[in-house]
Each structure stands twice: as structure tokens, then as C-alpha cells.
Amino acid sequence: MLPTYRPNVRKRKKHIGFRAKMKTAGGRKTLARRRAKGRWQLIPDVQQFRG
């Protein structure tokens, strides 16, 4: 039986990366909110999720 979570950087970037966010209206709103709040990182760092 396989574990539930199998980290994959490429798949993760496809789903939650900057360019993925820019593709949808909701994603762009999310980025705008994070900019307005003054977040240091707009998108969580993908590299920290390596398995």
C-alpha cells in the first residue's frame, strides 16, 4: 500500500505555483490580497516540500 502523500515538486508547482495562480481570476485575487497584506512570500516555497 502506498503512502497518502507522495511529494513531487513539479506537480506542486503546476498546481500552486505563481504561474498557476496567474492563470485564474481567483488566483490573481489571492496574489493581490497577499501583496496588500505585505507578505514576504506571495507563493509558499515549493522546495521545502521535498520528500
Q: How many CA atoms lie within 13 A of 8 on its CB side?
A: 7
C-alpha cell at 26: 481567483
CA distance 25 to 45: 22
**Domain span at 28:** 9-49
The sign one gets for the Cα dihedral 39, 45, 48, 51 is positive
Q: pLDDT-derived band of residue 8, with 50, 70 and 90 as boundaries?
A: confident
Tell me if 14 is assigned to some domain: yes
Read off the CATH number of the domain in which 19 is found.
1.10.287.3980
39 belongs to a structural domain: yes
pTM: 0.77
Give me the number of domains the chain comprises: 1
**Residue 25 forms part of a structural domain:** yes
Among 7-11, 14-18, 19-23, the range scoring the smallest mean pLDDT is 7-11
Query: Per the domain annotation, does 3 fall within a domain?
Result: no
Whose CA is closest to 15, among 39, 44, 38, 35? 44
- C-alpha cell recorded at residue 8: 513531487
**Is the residue at 27 inside a domain?**
yes
Average pLDDT over residues 6-22: 91
